[in-house]
Each structure stands twice: as structure tokens, then as C-alpha cells.
């Protein structure tokens, strides 16, 4: 090897020598794709990411409040579980977020990037409010509730179907399309808020405050229970739908490979439309739960950003409805806990978004270590000869 390392006549060779001397180091490490990882390892990495993120949150809290991590965590836990009301509120918010996450999941499994859940929820909520306002005195409570459910789901479904139609037939970019649909929905809701507010304040106020017509009935002593039960039932149904039904199987096939789907005779357009119909209808249903079962009013903020947060919930749970219970709980816990921190330490509410942002970044980042591995380079023989 030594003998032909010298006396390089050609230009190319002398260039190469220079380059070689510059290039003393091999890349320190390089990235390779991993084979499957056992589930306990991958979950270990995810949990480690959350723990790491919580340490960063504690550090962040320490800088702001000069309190030690234990105190901060205690405040967070207290904010989430401190009183019975807080626990109910935690459960209800988890359920509602979970509901929207469930709704977007079929579409996402199909690799249809529906970021229009916000608008679909709003449209569902709007129609629900319309029923409560306009049909309240025209029919029995049971019938009214039924009409509300159907109408809300229909509204959400239509809002989901429009982009799906253009995606299925002309491959219009669904991410951007659904995003735009959100703002159209916001405008429409805002418009009706003005109409229904009468005086032009733009606030609808509590609908049927006295009569409670069209309000979701209480199950037991708490207003939240029925919402939570409905969404839990929905979780199980959706899990079964995705895992064990023909539709669910078709969704997976279309998501993995449209060509394969065509090959075995799945009507891809039909599946896209059907799945977005389902996704939109479920969003509409959550809109109805928000208006009829929770807020008893409608506003542009009814969806409250859940349409976007739900995407993260669904994605973090790998589109598995059962895992989504955990991920939505995690996000809501962080928001509630952070809110308590801001109240106790006199900070402002926005801290919740920052904390959940940090945790999500860590978990998103941790996926890299599940899918790839870093290979460190070992010293090579060439160098030892020097």
C-alpha cells in the first residue's frame, strides 16, 4: 500500500492526495434504518422522551418561578386532579379531544391529511345550535336530539366530503384544501353568531338557558358523564372498525398503496369519499357534543384548536384508538397542569401551549430513534498504520 502512495504524476491524483489529506475523518456516525423494534423498546424510547420533556418543562418552570421541579409537578398534578371538579373537567376535555382525534384517524390511516377537523367540528356545532334554536319548540326532546345528531353529522360530513371529492377525482392537495375549509367554516359560524346574537354583539350566549331544550341529558349527577360515555363507546367501535372490519382493511390498503388497492378491485375513490364522510361525520358529532353537551352555545372558538391538537394526538398514538386515550390524556393533563402553574405563580395561560409544544417536540423527535439508528464509526486500519 505504501509504495503507490507517492509519485503521483497526473493532476487528478495530486488533487486526490490533497483531498485525501483534508478528508482525514470519516463521518463520525451515519444513520441507518432500523429493523422492527420490540414494542417494549419503542415504548421505552417514547416514555423516555416524555420524561426528558418533563425535565425540560421543570427547568423552564424553575427559570420562571424559582421553584424546584417537585413543587412544579405537584402544582401540575394538583391542577389536573386537585378537586372533584377538576377531575371531571380533565376527563371531559380528554374525552372531547379524544373524540376529535378518533374522527381524524380513519382519514389519516388512509394517508389523507385532513387538517380540516376544526372546520368540520364547527359546522357540526353550528347546525346543532341551529336545531336547538329553531326546532326547539317544534318537536319532542327525543326527536330533537335525534335530529341534532343526524344534522350535525351531516354538516361535518359535507365539510369533509368537499375536499375528499376533489382529492379523489383530481388529486387536489387535501392538506391545503382542508386548511382553507377551516376558515370558510369560521366565517360562516361568525356570520350566524351575528345573526343569532340579535343586537349585533356577535355572541350567541347560552342557548335555551331556562328551558334546556336540546341540551344533552345528564347521566347520573354530572353533565359530563354522557359525553365521556359516548366517546368511550366510540373509541371501542372505531378500534373494531379499523382493525376488524372490511372497511378498515380497505382504508389500510388504500393508505399503504393505492395501486394495490386498485389491483384487488377496491374502488379507491369510493373509499376516500366514504372514509372522509365518516371522518367528517364524527367531527360533526363532536361538534354537537360540544354545543349540546358541553358549552350550550356556539362561537368561532367552539372547536378551540382541538382539530389541530387531535392530529398530534392521533399521530402520537400511531393511529391506534386505544393508545389515543393515553395521548389525549397526556396533552390535556399538560394543559390543565400548566394552567395551574400560571395561576399559582402569576404567569399567563399561554404556558400550556408551550409545555405541550415541548412534550410533542420530544415525542416527535424520539420517533427518529425508533425508526433509525446511529452507527458510530470504529477506527480504521489505515489510520493505525501511520
Partner 1 sequence: MSAFFLTIFVPFFCRAVVQGVPLLFGATGEILTEKSGHLNLGIPGTMYMGAIGGVIGAFIYEQKVENLNPFLGIMIPLLFSLLFSGLMGLLYCFLTVTLRANQNVTGLALTTFGVGCGNFFGGSLIKITKADVPNVILTRTHNLFCKTLPFASKLGWFGEMVFSYSFLAYLSVIIAVIAAFVLNKTRVGLHLRAVGESPATADAAGINVDRYKYVSTIVGSMIAGLGGLYYIMDYACGVWSNDGFGDRGWLAVALVIFTLWRPALCIFGSFIFGGLYIIHNYLTQALHLSFASQELVQMTPYVVTILVLIAISLRKKRETQPPAHLGQNYFREER
Partner 2 sequence: MKEENPVSDPTKVTSNAPAIELRGITKTFGSVVANNNVNLLVNRGEILSILGENGSGKTTLMNMISGIYFPDKGQIFIDGQEVLIRSPKDAFKYRIGMIHQHFKLVDLFTATENIVLGLEDGRKYDLAAYGKEIAAICEQYGFVIDLNKKIYNMSVSEKQTVEIIKVLYRGADILILDEPTAVLTPQETETLFAVLRRMREAGKSIIIITHKLHEVLSISNRVSVLCKGQYIGTVNTAETNESELTEMMVGKKISLNIHRSEPKGVEDRLVVDNLRCVDREGLPVLKGISFTAKSGEILGIAGIAGSGQRELLEAIAGLQPLTEGTITYNNPTSGKAENLRDKTPTQIRELGVRLSFVPEDRLGMGLVGNMDIVDNMMLRSYRKGPLGFLNRKPPATLADTIISDLEVVTPSSKTPVRRLSGGNVQKVLVGREIASAPTVFMAAYPVRGLDINSSFTIYNLLNEQKEKGVAVIFVGEDLDVLLELCDRILVIGSGAVTGVVDARTVTKEQVGLLMTKTAQEGGTEDGE
Q: Which residues bind partner 1 (CB under 8 A)?
A: 31-33, 113, 115, 166, 170-173, 175-177, 179-184, 186-188, 190-195, 200, 202, 305, 308-309, 311-312, 315, 346-354, 356-358, 360-361, 364-365, 367-368, 371-372
Considering the rule CB under 8 A, would residue 15 count as an interface residue with partner 2? yes
Identify the residue among 27, 199, 200, 220 touching partner 2 (CB under 8 A).
Answer: 27
Q: How far is the CB of 367 from partner 2 (least distance, A)?
A: 16
Identify the residue among 201, 260, 343, 371 touching partner 2 (CB under 8 A).
Answer: 260
Q: How far is the CB of 259 from partner 2 (least distance, A)?
A: 4
Considering the rule CB under 8 A, would residue 21 count as an interface residue with partner 2? yes
Binding range to partner 2, per CB under 8 A, among 165-173, 256-264, 290-298, 363-371 = 256-264
Q: How far is the CB of 34 from partner 2 (least distance, A)?
A: 7
Q: What's the sign of the alpha-carbon dihedral 348, 350, 354, 356?
A: positive
Closest CB to partner 2 among 19 and 70? 19
Considering the rule CB under 8 A, would residue 28 count as an interface residue with partner 2? no
Cell digits for 382?
489505515
Closest CB to partner 2 among 26 and 349? 26
If one counts every other C-beta atom within 10 angstroms of the C-beta of residue 373, the result is 15
First vs last Cα of the chain: how many Å apart?
12
The dihedrals phi and psi of 19, each to the nearest 5 degrees, come to -60, -40
Considering the rule CB under 8 A, would residue 252 count as an interface residue with partner 2? yes
Identify the residue among 74, 86, 212, 247 touching partner 2 (CB under 8 A).
Answer: 247
Q: How far is the CB of 371 from partner 2 (least distance, A)?
A: 12
Q: What is the largest CA-CA distance in the chain?
A: 100
Considering the rule CB under 8 A, would residue 10 count as an interface residue with partner 2? yes
Residue 372: strand pairing partners: 33
Q: How far is the CB of 207 from partner 1 (least distance, A)?
A: 18
Closest CB to partner 1 among 93 and 225? 93
Angle at 177 (CA atoms; ends 176, 183), nearest 5 degrees = 95
Smallest Cα–Cα separation from 324: which of 53, 38, 96, 55? 96
Q: What's the sign of the alpha-carbon dihedral 123, 125, 131, 133?
A: negative
Identify the residue among 7, 85, 140, 171 touching partner 2 (CB under 8 A).
Answer: 7
Q: Which does 360 bind (CB under 5 to 8 A by kind): partner 1, partner 2, none?
A: partner 1
Closest CB to partner 2 among 74 and 247? 247
3-state secondary structure 39-106: HHHHHHHHHHHHHHHHHHHHHHHHHHHCCCHHHHHHHHHHHHHCCHHHHHHHHHHHHHHHHHHHHHHH
Considering the rule CB under 8 A, would residue 19 count as an interface residue with partner 2? yes
The dihedrals phi and psi of 32, each to the nearest 5 degrees, come to -130, 155
Q: Which does 147 bind (CB under 5 to 8 A by kind): partner 1, partner 2, none?
A: none
Question: CB–CB of 287/122 below 8 Å?
Answer: yes
Cell digits for 146?
335525534
Identify the residue among 12, 28, 63, 70 touching partner 2 (CB under 8 A).
Answer: 12
Closest CB to partner 1 among 146 and 374? 374
Q: What's the sign of the alpha-carbon dihedral 251, 255, 258, 264?
A: negative
Place of cell 349527577: 221
Q: How far is the CB of 183 from partner 1 (least distance, A)?
A: 4
Place of cell 330533537: 144
Distance (Å, whole) CA 230 – CA 324? 15
Considering the rule CB under 8 A, would residue 376 count as an interface residue with partner 2? no
Question: CB–CB of 92/225 below 8 Å?
Answer: no
Considering the rule CB under 8 A, would residue 29 count as an interface residue with partner 2? no
Smallest Cα–Cα separation from 81: which of 327, 340, 285? 340
List contacts with partner 2 (CB under 8 A): 1-10, 12-13, 15-17, 19-21, 23, 26-27, 30, 32-36, 244-250, 252-253, 256-257, 259-260, 262-265, 267, 375, 380, 382, 386
Amino acid at each position: 500500500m505504501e509504495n503507490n502512495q507517492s509519485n503521483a504524476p497526473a493532476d487528478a491524483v495530486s488533487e486526490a492526495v490533497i483531498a485525501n489529506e483534508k478528508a482525514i475523518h470519516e463521518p463520525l456516525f451515519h444513520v441507518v434504518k432500523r429493523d422492527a423494534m420490540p414494542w417494549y423498546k419503542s415504548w421505552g424510547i417514547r416514555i423516555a422522551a416524555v420524561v426528558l420533556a418533563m425535565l425540560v418543562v421543570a427547568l423552564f418552570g424553575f427559570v420562571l418561578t424559582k421553584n424546584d421541579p417537585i413543587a412544579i409537578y405537584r402544582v401540575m398534578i394538583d391542577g389536573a386532579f386537585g378537586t372533584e371538579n377538576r377531575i371531571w373537567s380533565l376527563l371531559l376535555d380528554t374525552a372531547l379531544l379524544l373524540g376529535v382525534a378518533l374522527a381524524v384517524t380513519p382519514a389519516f390511516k388512509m394517508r389523507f391529511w385532513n387538517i380540516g377537523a376544526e372546520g368540520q367540528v364547527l359546522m357540526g356545532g353550528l347546525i346543532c345550535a341551529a336545531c336547538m334554536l329553531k326546532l326547539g319548540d317544534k318537536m319532542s326532546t327525543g326527536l330533537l336530539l335525534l335530529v341534532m345528531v343526524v344534522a350535525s353529522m351531516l354538516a361535518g360530513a359535507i365539510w369533509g366530503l368537499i375536499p375528499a371529492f376533489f382529492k379523489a377525482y383530481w388529486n387536489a392537495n387535501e392538506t391545503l384544501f382542508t386548511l382553507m375549509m377551516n376558515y370558510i367554516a369560521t366565517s360562516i359560524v361568525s356570520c350566524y353568531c351575528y345573526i343569532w346574537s340579535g343586537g349585533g354583539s356577535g355572541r350567541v350566549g347560552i342557548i335555551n338557558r331556562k328551558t334546556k331544550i336540546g341540551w344533552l341529558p345528564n347521566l347520573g349527577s354530572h353533565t359530563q358523564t354522557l359525553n365521556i360515555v359516548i366517546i368511550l363507546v366510540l373509541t371501542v367501535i372505531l378500534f373494531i372498525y379499523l382493525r376488524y372490519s372490511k372497511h378498515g382493511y380497505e382504508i389500510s390498503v388504500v393508505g399503504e398503496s393505492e395501486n394495490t388497492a386498485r389491483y384487488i378491485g377496491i374502488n379507491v375513490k369510493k373509499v376516500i369519499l366514504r372514509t372522509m364522510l365518516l371522518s367528517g361525520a364524527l367531527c360533526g358529532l363532536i361538534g354537537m357534543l360540544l354545543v349540546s353537551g358541553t358549552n350550550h352555545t356556539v362561537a368561532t372558538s367552539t372547536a378551540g384548536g382541538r382539530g389541530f391538537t387531535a392530529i398530534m394526538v392521533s399521530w402520537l398514538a400511531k393511529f391506534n384508538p386505544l393508545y389515543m386515550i393515553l395521548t389525549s390524556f397526556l396533552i390535556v393533563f399538560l394543559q390543565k397542569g400548566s394552567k395551574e402553574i400560571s395561576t399559582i405563580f402569576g404567569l399567563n395561560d399561554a404556558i400550556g401551549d408551550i409545555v405541550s409544544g415541548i412534550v410533542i417536540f420530544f415525542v416527535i423527535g424520539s420517533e427518529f430513534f425508533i425508526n433509525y439508528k446511529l452507527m458510530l464509526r470504529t477506527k480504521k486500519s489505515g489510520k493505525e498504520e501511520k
